[in-house]
Amino acid sequence: MDLQDQLKNLFPDHVPSNEPEETEEVAHELYVQKEPMICKYEKRKGKATTIIEGYEGTDEDFKILAKEIKTKLSVGGSFKDGAIILQGDYRDKIMKMLQDKGFKTKRVGG
């Protein structure tokens, strides 16, 4: 007895529809600002960290951007106090990614 037969036994009056439901997924648009975002390099507890600050949009948009950067670079990090903190020195790659999205960036710290 497969799943369809079991469902027919449980719900004898139900008529299954074969039409797939259409759902439109709208890509989330990030707020592109006029002021540059700051990519800076720091050493914390002897380890290199990259910090991205200066986003003027909502925190939710900044969290989405943080997640996208972390997955593309395959690196750990967090979002705290309006800044993205990433493990390692990835300023050049991050600045390139942000510029491709239309953001202005500024390199700080070395």
Confidence check: pLDDT of 12 > 90: no
How would you list the strands of the sheet with 105-108, edge to edge? 77-80, 83-87, 47-53, 37-44, 105-108
Residue range 57-86, pLDDT digits in tens: 888 888 888 899 999 999 999 988 889 999
pLDDT at residue 26 is higher than 60: no
Q: And the tokens for 29?
A: 């648009």
- Supply the pLDDT for residue 85: 92
Question: What superfamily in CATH does domain 34-108 come from?
Answer: SUI1-like domain (3.30.780.10)
Written as six digits, the tokens of 24 are 């439109």
Pairing of strands 47-53, 37-44: antiparallel
Average pLDDT, the chain: 84
The pLDDT score that the predictor gives to residue 22 is 62
Residues 98/105, Cβ–Cβ less than 8 Å = yes
What phi and psi, each to the nearest 5 degrees, are found at residue 95? -60, -40
